[in-house]
Amino acid sequence: MDTRTSETRLRIERMRDALISQGLHAVLVPSSDPHLSEYLPGRWQGREWLSGFTGSVGSLVVTRERAALFADSRYWSQAEAEIAGSGIQLEKMSSGASTQYIDWIAKTLQPGQVLAVDGQVLGLSLANTLRAAMQRAGVTLNTHVDLLQAAWDDRPGLPADAIYEHQPPQAVVSRADKLARVRQAMATVGASHHLVSTVDDVAWLLNLRGSDVECNPVFIAHLLLDPQGGRLFVGDAKVPADVVARLAADGIQLAPYGQAAAALAALPAGARLLIDPRRVTLGLREAVPAAVGVVEQINPSTLLKSRKTAAEAEFVRETMAQDGAAMCEFYAEFEASLARGERWSELDIDTRLSAARRKRPGFVGLSFSTIAGWMANGALPHYRATPESFAYIEGDGLLLLDSGGQYLGGTTDITRVWPIGTVSAAQKRDYTLVLKGTIALSRTRFPRGTLSPMLDAIARAPLWEHGLDYGHGTGHGVGYFMNVHEGPQSISKAIAEPAMAMEPGMITSIEPGLYRPGQWGVRIENLVLNVALDTPENNAFGEMLEFETLTLCPIDTRAIDASLLRADEIAWLNDYHATVRARLQPLVSGPALDWLMARTEPLPA
């Protein structure tokens, strides 16, 4: 048993000691924080600390006798490796949105026993589902205890990095204008106050950015708005004095981070508070007095920030070109180095691609941890090489590289698969079937307001035809110098909430994949923008939308089985490569230009 596994067992035992000492029988530790974030500051990485599982999505349940980790198919191989020998059992979920762990708890606990979960990190919508299930099972739910605080001696404190403003020209819409639009939405539903807890909504609404969460330019804060002003609940000394003054000019005052619940409790009788049950925690909801009316609906800012303005879209196009030029420089260096017989590891790829991006104007940082997976590692959708575990690029096969950057003018996310040496017929088949899915969805036209999950099957159809599939979603929304995963739209099998309609200005990924465990993985990802389709028929049949492909980087044609592509699919790929060549050619020179020209040569029709 290695040291890590021994430490995991010790931590689970300490959690069990905390359960027993407080008369509890089980604890649910979700991957969550008081803002229901996907990526968590260290203080709230309790599930990872307890289990050793480092995936971004998953839930841990610890009882006095058992421990179970619930993860979806993106993480099964990773989870099995990371919890091996810990005594934690892996429960395989069908999707990241599954609440299978609730059924497991209800069946495992006996009537009269008590389940603990910290209400400060439990989403209100999920809390309602959990409470109903526990009531049916006769299990008591305690949401007023944070057992991590008792078991985790060296638990990190709150992040302390400074907050800064997103400035013009890239900050196209002023803070005052954004606040006015949200207040207009508040007035429409008769709300006098509005609580915003999701950190990307707060950052977008106030044109502020931070670094409290790795790779996401956000900061930990709550915002309580009223018709004239608002209070930003944020850590002490995080906001520079000049920014404090400009916030005050727009009616936003600062308050200590820990006072958000008290401010809700002090709302006057007769006030009406707008909250989003999917984006606020049970703990904050319980702080609202009974005499205060509550309006539950999606945050207006979530819908507003998902629709990029025409000026923002133009900055994103410029950003995509700079990002594409960085990739040309990297890939040219990479291929030339391999041709010289030099040795590369997955870690080298991450380091040198990131260095190429840093040279580009407006670059701030990575938008997520680079996934460079050689062969079998590419079959792990969320793989990440570490100094303790990585592979060298050796022999023949496929290299999957998923990466992205945060720029002042946008957020990028791109996946490409590169053939190294001789590629087998089976690998070419997999690659081409995935490419067909990317092309099929990229070419799709659809009525405005179409629920984004309705588009999912279009990318899967070429794989389904051969009895193949992938376990993750096909696409996620992307922010504007903001979180690389953004709602409300999501192209997946699940309709998570009603507000998933596709609207003009939304940026979404298209990323079908295919994974052969222990062998190789394929994923081809571009970002696309919803744009209006200008046709005479639009007036008669309603507004139609289509996708503008934003990502600019060659799709390697050496791994294609051309016999599987139709003429129209080849035409789409050749048109895409012509666009990539035209857009990137002015930004690169020397070996990078040569590489670009070679990789954008058209396929024979």
Reported as a single tens digit per residue, the pLDDT across 411-434 is 999 999 999 999 999 999 999 999
Task: Round to whole Å and give the CA distance between 197 and 231.
Answer: 12
Dihedral sign for Cα 484, 485, 490, 494, please.
positive
Structure tokens at 372: 């460079």
As beta bridge partners, residue 501 has 451
Q: Which residues of 183-196 are buried (b: 16+ CB within 10 A; e: fewer)?
A: bebbeeeebbbbbb
pLDDT at 1 over 50: no
Q: pLDDT tens-digit profile of 493-513?
A: 887 777 889 999 999 999 999
Structure tokens at 179: 């606040």
Q: What is the pLDDT of residue 349?
A: 97
Task: Round to whole Å and give the CA distance between 139 and 160.
Answer: 39
pLDDT at 538 over 60: no
523 phi, psi to nearest 5 deg: -150, 130
Structure tokens at 600: 């954008």
Question: What is the pLDDT confidence band of residue 534, given thresholds at 50, 70 and 90?
Answer: confident
The residue to which tokens 């279009």 are assigned: 458
3-state secondary structure of 359: coil
Q: pLDDT tens-digit profile of 389-408?
A: 899 999 999 999 999 999 99
By C-alpha distance, which of 473, 471, 501, 481 is closest to 489? Answer: 501
Q: What is the pLDDT of residue 522?
A: 98
Q: What is the pLDDT of residue 515?
A: 97
Q: What is the pLDDT of residue 583?
A: 98
Any alpha helices (H) in 266-396, and if so which ranges? Answer: 282-286, 300-306, 310-339, 346-358
462 phi, psi to nearest 5 deg: -60, -30
Q: Give the global pTM.
A: 0.92
Q: What percent of the chain has pLDDT over 70?
A: 98
Please state, in angstroms and as integers, the Cα–Cα distance from residue 321 to each residue in 130, 338, 369, 549, following that order. 46, 26, 21, 12
Question: What is the pLDDT confidence band of residue 56, given thresholds at 50, 70 and 90?
Answer: confident
3-state secondary structure of 123: strand
Task: Round to whole Å and give the CA distance between 265 and 273.
Answer: 11
Query: What 3 state SS string does 115-139 have?
Result: EECCHHHCEHHHHHHHHHHHHHHCC
Q: pLDDT tens-digit profile of 119-162?
A: 999 999 899 999 999 999 999 999 999 999 988 989 999 999 99
- Please compute the mean of the pLDDT values over residues 450-456 and round it to a whole number: 95
Those residues whose C-beta lies under 8 Å from the C-beta of residue 121, and which sit 6 or more positions away, are 30, 32, 33, 34, 36, 44, 281, 283
Q: pLDDT tens-digit profile of 265-285?
A: 999 999 999 999 999 999 999
Q: What is the DSSP string of 39-91?
A: S--GGG-HHHHHH----SS-EEEEESS-EEEEEEGGGHHHHHHHSTTTTPEEE
Structure tokens at 536: 């005479």
Q: What is the DSSP string of 538-555?
A: HHHH--EEEEEE----PP
Q: What is the pLDDT of residue 95?
A: 67
How far from each other are the two terminal CA atoms of the chain, in whole angstroms?
A: 58
Dihedral sign for Cα 62, 66, 67, 70, please.
negative
pLDDT at 221 over 70: yes
Identify whether the C-beta of residue 108 lies closer than 8 Å to the C-beta of residue 65: no
Structure tokens at 333: 């260096």
Rounded to the nearest 5 degrees, what angle is found at the Cα of 468, between the Cα atoms of 84 and 447? Answer: 115
Any alpha helices (H) in 443-544, and if so which ranges? Answer: 456-464, 538-541
Dihedral sign for Cα 414, 358, 37, 175, please.
negative
Task: Round to whole Å and give the CA distance between 548 and 509.
Answer: 11
Structure tokens at 215: 């790779």
Task: Round to whole Å and give the CA distance between 487 and 508.
Answer: 9
pLDDT at 444 over 60: yes
372 phi, psi to nearest 5 deg: -115, 105
Identify whether the C-beta of residue 78 lies closer than 8 Å to the C-beta of residue 55: yes
As beta bridge partners, residue 510 has 526
- Please compute the mean of the pLDDT values over residues 449-469 and round it to a whole number: 96
Q: pLDDT tens-digit profile of 22-47?
A: 999 999 999 999 999 988 999 999 99
Q: What is the DSSP string of 188-230?
A: HTT-SEEEE--HHHHHHHHTEE--SBTTB----EEEEE-SS-E
- Which one-letter amino acid corresponds to residue 385? A
Q: What is the pLDDT of residue 283?
A: 95
Identify whether the C-beta of residue 321 lies closer than 8 Å to the C-beta of residue 364: no
Question: What is the pLDDT confidence band of residue 556, given thresholds at 50, 70 and 90?
Answer: very high
Domains and CATH numbers, the chain: 3-151 (3.40.350.10), 164-304 (3.40.350.10), 307-599 (3.90.230.10)
Residue 451, by phi and psi: left (phi above 0), alpha (psi -120 to 50) or beta?
beta
Task: Round to whole Å and give the CA distance between 364 and 216.
Answer: 10
Structure tokens at 567: 């003429």
Those residues whose C-beta lies under 8 Å from the C-beta of residue 98, and which sit 6 or more positions away, are 70, 72
238 phi, psi to nearest 5 deg: -80, -25
Task: Round to whole Å and give the CA distance between 200 and 394.
Answer: 41
- Please compute the mean of the pLDDT values over residues 531-553 and round it to a whole number: 85
